[in-house]
Amino acid sequence: MKQTLLLVPVLFIFSLPAQSQNFDADINILFGIPQSDFRESLDRNALGLNGSIAFRIPRLPVHAGLELGIMTYGRDRRLEPISTNIPEVLLEVRTDYDIFTGHLFLRLEPEIHGIRPYLDGLVGIKYLFTESSIRDDDGFGEDIASTTNYDDSSFSYGAGGGIKVEVYDGGRDSYMVNLKARYLFGSEASYLQPGSITRDRGGNLIFDESRSGTNLLTIHLGMTYKF
């Protein structure tokens, strides 16, 4: 699932006509820092990837775009035998605790040669989900099987800003280092935390749910391709 979410902006970029102009596409390392009651409930930060595509409205210093991100705020691992009859063969059971963010945004970005400061307004969703998978115990390769154990979503909106510094100008296209931050307000949602999945004597799963607002400060560092 996470791989599919990350492919969306990439596929969109390659679907554009070759002669397209006035587009920005970026990919970033993403840091998520819970705020307010989200921080009180979930006392840990998140790490992941983020990407966006934006179109500059002709004759205006304004961009409209779509931004997607995925970050992990925890992971549980354990080894289990493939069956009670084959205890020598072990599989890794891995549970990831993730937040997907998807936002539409409007960006005010004046064109200053070589340096581009900007301000963003965003609206969208946060999707919090816990996914378990099994794989070979060496930890490499594709998942053998996976399932989403728990999920919930919240309405999300906020504002942010950043700065782009040009490092290459090819005339029709250019590359920029991009540093940005957002404060994203979020409605209440339920979610799991690392260690919150247990089993009773009958082997049934027990979920120790947490619930709070989902305010989140995000910091992004990456590259922008302007074409």
Q: How many domains does the chain have?
A: 1
Is the pLDDT at 160 greater than 80? The verdict is yes
CA-nearest of 62, 44, 59 to 107 is 62
Domain enclosing residue 113, as ranges: 2-12+44-226
pLDDT at 1: 55
pLDDT at 217: 98
Mean pLDDT of the chain: 88
* Residue 26 forms part of a structural domain: no
Average pLDDT value for residue range 70-92? 85
With beta carbons less than 8 A apart as the criterion, state whether 162 and 189 touch.
no
pLDDT at 9: 52
- Say which residue the tokens 């900007």 belong to: 118
Is the pLDDT at 38 greater than 80? The verdict is yes
pLDDT band at 21 (very low <50, low <70, confident <90, very high): low
* Residue 159 forms part of a structural domain: yes
* Residue 126 forms part of a structural domain: yes
CATH of the domain at 200: 2.40.160
143 exposure class (CB count in 10 Å sphere: 0-12, 13-18, 19+): middle
* Residue 31 forms part of a structural domain: no
* Residue 85 forms part of a structural domain: yes
With beta carbons less than 8 A apart as the criterion, state whether 159 and 122 touch.
yes
Q: Each residue of 114-133: pLDDT tens digit?
A: 899 999 999 999 999 999 98
pLDDT at 19: 46
